A and B are shown apart, each in its own frame.
Chain A
Amino acid sequence: MSVLAAAPALPLHTAGKYVAGAYIVFVAIVLIYVAIMATRLSRTERELARLRREVDERRRAKEGDRDLESVA
């Protein structure tokens, strides 16, 4: 109890850096989290694009086979 009672209020120029520090920590953590989510989102987009490419390739290959069969 005595620790808190003995501590006087800090002057504004000293307190300001602590307050700014606390709020910057909060903003930084949220931004880091958003950056990680953005990286994951771009990975998901790449995965989706690759899936689409592979499905298109398979479809084209199937259509090619069908054309060959109709010619024969």
Chain B
Amino acid sequence: MTYGRGLRGLSLATAATISLALGLVFFYAPLDADQGFVQKIFYIHVPLAIVSLCGFILGGLLAIGYLRTGERQWDIRSYVAIHMSLIFGIAGLITGSIWAKASWGHWWVWNEPTLVSFLIVLLLYATYQPLRFAIEDPERQSRYASVFAVTAGAFVPLNFIAVRLAQQYVHPRILTLSGGNLPGSMRLTFLVSLLGIALLFVTLWKYELAAKNTRAQIRALRRSLLGEESVRPLGRSAAPS
């Protein structure tokens, strides 16, 4: 199994797309009539939040692969997807908080369902690593973590729908099934930004998988060349190996 294949092209595509997105954000997209320049945060905050939530769902889907086959590779893929989504989610939360301060005058608004539900999802996934760390047996760890990933992954879209059905919110509704109310230039800029962040997610996911896979292969090589006693025990870890 090699995860490094196509990584160079993917990295270049990511760099090009993010550069293009930044160019569009600052030189092409018009200033928002209501919020002015501060609305530029939208092009980084919303893609980070969307990609993070999709990453959590991806983690759940990959965990189904582990539960079906019992192959460790699926657990590693799921673990890295959730790990990356947490990082993206925290970035989304911080950028959102900055935007809230700039446009609402508060770093956090507790009666805003979108913000609070996103925080709930993040806190839910913050328990994923401690859960893994609490289980010493690698096989049980993978199984329990996969069940968690599937359950929590199913919770993410349900949570999203529940928030959409909520009546009272101050969060602007920009993306809707009917096409939303973004003008063409803003929509293009947003879509390129979303693509850039999604590519960044996939690139970093593949990088981390390649790194984990390389370390595992070195251990296997050491074991086969120098014998079992030459391999130091890994010790308890939240990360699958």
Chain A contacts to B: CB under 8 angstroms: 1, 3-4, 7, 9-12, 14-16, 18-19, 21-23, 25-26, 29-30, 33, 37, 40-41, 44, 47-48, 51, 54-55, 58
Contacts and interface: CB of A to CB of B under 8 A. Distances in A.
B34 A22 contact: no
11 contacts: A7-B105, A10-B38, A12-B36, A19-B37, A22-B44, A22-B94, A25-B94, A25-B95, A29-B91, A33-B204, A47-B218
A58 B101 CA distance: 63
Contacts of A10: 35-38, 102-103
A48 B216 CA distance: 11
DSSP class of B's interface residues: helix, strand, loop or mixed? helix
A11 B94 CA distance: 22
Contacts of A44: 211, 214-215, 218
Contacts of A51: 218, 221-222, 225-226
B41 interface: yes
A41 B37 contact: no
Contacts of A40: 211, 215
Contact of A18 (B32, B90, B98): B98
Interface in B96-150: 98-99, 101-106, 109
B104 A37 contact: no
Residue from A4, A33, A54 whose CB has the most chain B CB atoms within 10 Å = A4
Nearest to A2: B170
Interface residues of B, number: 42
A7 B36 contact: no
B40 interface: yes
B104 A19 contact: no
B221 A18 contact: no
A58 B230 CA distance: 12
A58 B224 CA distance: 13
Interface string B34-60: 111110110011001000000000000
A3 to B, nearest CB: 5
B105 A23 contact: no
A54 B229 CA distance: 13
Residue from A19, A22, A58 whose CB has the most chain B CB atoms within 10 Å = A22
A16 to B, nearest CB: 7
Contact of B87 (A12, A18, A29): A29
Residue from A19, A37, A54 whose CB has the most chain B CB atoms within 10 Å = A19
Contacts of B208: 37
Contacts of B222: 51
Contact of A48 (B37, B94, B105, B218): B218
Contacts of A14: 102
Given A9-B35, A10-B102, A22-B95, A1 B170 contact: yes
